[in-house]
């Protein structure tokens, strides 16, 4: 009896040759990750196929793991559900108060920015995504998300959590995408120090730390200062939390700059769910703008009423005839009755401006016209008789 391999030897050899050619072709051919955009970044066809094959398996395994952990957590949490419910209600009440205060501060900030003609970008829409895989490399901080361009994602979209920024989308596939974390050496973001208002550039390091290296020594920068996004990189909207300054040391490789290490606001090593910012808006919604205009008008009217003096005088106080008047009382010191005396005019002479007539009105040989200046008698010289020469 012939074996299977000897019987179908030619067919198996043909299949192996076709498989090798297909793999070689997939390694050489590159295609864009977003159809319809030929200028978009392209990847190898083999990587595209591998991502399409591995994404469903990773999604199933991740979903199964979440289901198991969720069921166990639900079982354990039933014991303390009442206490947790009360704590959550109290937390919700506190968050509502904080939300009201933050909304009032946002309206006030919007009024000031409107006066300064400064446009603030607010997060308009987000898409929630789950982390289903990692890069598996210590040098690269890449995560795989379960959403792709068919869900509305695009490259260079900002990714955040409720605590702070996480990174941006590096590659986007049909049903998955790759997230480049902010602590990757190739990542970067524009930031601003909250209290000192110093702008800087944030980037990652080889050991996974978040650092700022383009600032010189400044005594105002101290550990514990909060850092937020500046919005200048056109990726992250302005005002998002980045982290807190942890240490400030001189940079031995780039003198005289300092090496500022930050503690990220978001936990970059335990990410499960993230938010992808899909759109921003330059202004507040319509109802918030109307409320802002009404508050601004009311505030301006109150300030005018309190600070500007009235143009109407109060009613004059009439004298009571039944009460005797004190005629010896000194008059009130009214500043309007005191008229300052004019300064005495300077003594004019013929050399003072305005005391002589214009040259066009003067006639040769005529006496000088009279002015307010007293006439100055000319000094007459007594003629001296010539000496008579003495006879020898």
Superfamily name and number for 123-282: Rod shape-determining protein MreC, domain 1 (2.40.10.340)
CA distances from 151 to 128, 147, 175 (A): 10, 6, 8
Number of C-beta neighbours around residue 136 at 10 A:
7
The CA angle 82-88-89, to the nearest 5 degrees, is 95
DSSP string, 361-379: G--TTSPPPP-SSPPPPPP
Q: Assess contact for 236 and 158: CB atoms under 8 A.
A: yes
What pLDDT digit, counting tens, does each position of 351-383 carry? 555 555 566 566 666 655 554 444 445 555 555
Three-state DSSP at 339 gives coil
Question: What are the helix (H) ranges across the chain?
Answer: 4-7, 9-28, 45-77, 81-115, 286-307
CA distances from 200 to 251, 260, 268, 275 (A): 15, 11, 21, 25
The one-character DSSP state at 150 is G
Question: What value does the CA radius of gyration of the chain take, rounded to a whole number of Å?
Answer: 44
What pLDDT digit, counting tens, does each position of 12-38 carry? 888 888 888 777 766 666 666 666 555
Residue pointed to by tokens 């159809």: 35
Q: Is the per-residue pLDDT at 2 higher than 60?
A: yes
CA distances from 129 to 159, 161, 175, 230, 277 (A): 10, 11, 11, 25, 11
Q: Is the per-residue pLDDT at 224 higher than 60?
A: yes
d(Cα 200, Cα 225) in Å, to the nearest integer? Answer: 14
The CA angle 30-34-40, to the nearest 5 degrees, is 70
Domain segments of the chain: what residues? 4-74, 82-118, 123-282
Q: Say what angle helices 45-77 and 9-28 make with each other, to 10 degrees.
A: 90
56: Cβ contacts below 8 Å, ≥ 6 apart: none
What pLDDT digit, counting tens, does each position of 303-361 carry? 455 545 544 444 445 545 555 544 444 444 444 445 555 555 555 555 555 555 566 56
Query: At 281, phi and psi to the nearest 5?
Result: -130, 140
Q: Which of 385, 386, 368 is nearest to 377 (CA)?
A: 368
Point out the least confidently predicted range of 46-60, 76-90, 265-279, 357-371: 357-371
Residue pointed to by tokens 């205009």: 293
Mean pLDDT for the chain overall: 74
Q: Assess contact for 178 and 190: CB atoms under 8 A.
A: no
Tokens of 207: 């050991």
The reported pLDDT for the residue numbered 368 is: 58
Residue pointed to by tokens 């990174």: 167
Higher pLDDT, 245 or 5: 245
């Amino acid at each position: 009896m012939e074996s299977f391999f000897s019987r179908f030897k030619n067919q198996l050899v043909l299949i192996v040759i076709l498989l090798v050619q297909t793999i070689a072709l997939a390694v050489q051919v590159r295609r864009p990750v977003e159809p319809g955009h030929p200028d978009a970044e392209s990847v190898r066809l083999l990587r595209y196929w591998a991502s399409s094959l591995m994404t469903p398996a990773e999604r199933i395994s991740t979903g199964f793991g979440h289901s198991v952990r969720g069921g166990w957590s639900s079982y354990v949490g039933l014991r303390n559900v009442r206490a947790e419910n009360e704590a959550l209600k109290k937390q919700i009440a506190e968050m509502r108060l904080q939300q009201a205060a933050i909304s009032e501060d946002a309206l006030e900030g919007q009024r000031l920015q409107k006066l300064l003609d400064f446009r603030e970008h607010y997060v308009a829409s987000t898409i929630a995504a789950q982390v289903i895989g990692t890069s598996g490399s210590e040098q690269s901080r890449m995560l795989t998300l379960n959403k792709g361009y068919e869900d509305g994602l695009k490259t260079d979209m900002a990714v955040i959590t409720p605590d702070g920024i996480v990174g941006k989308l590096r590659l986007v596939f049909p049903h998955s995408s790759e997230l480049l974390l902010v602590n990757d050496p190739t990542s970067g973001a524009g930031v601003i120090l909250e209290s000192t208002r110093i702008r800087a550039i944030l980037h990652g390091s080889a050991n996974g730390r978040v650092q700022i290296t383009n600032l010189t020594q400044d005594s105002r920068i101290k550990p514990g200062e909060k850092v937020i996004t500046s919005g200048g990189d056109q990726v992250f909207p302005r005002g998002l939390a980045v982290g807190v300054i942890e240490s400030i040391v001189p940079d031995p490789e780039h003198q005289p700059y300092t090496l500022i290490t930050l503690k990220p606001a978001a936990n970059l090593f335990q990410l499960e769910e993230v938010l992808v910012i899909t759109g921003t808006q330059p202004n507040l919604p319509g109802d918030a703008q109307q409320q802002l205009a009404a508050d601004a008008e009311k505030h301006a009217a109150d300030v005018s009423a309190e600070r500007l003096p009235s143009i109407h005088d109060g009613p004059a106080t009439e004298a009571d005839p039944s009460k005797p008047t004190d005629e010896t009382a000194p008059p009130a010191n009214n500043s309007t009755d005191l008229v300052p005396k004019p300064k005495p005019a300077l003594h004019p002479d013929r050399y003072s401006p305005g005391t002589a007539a214009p040259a066009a009105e003067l006639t040769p040989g005529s006496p000088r016209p009279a002015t307010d200046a007293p006439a100055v008698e000319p000094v007459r010289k007594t003629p001296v008789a010539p000496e008579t020469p003495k006879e020898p």
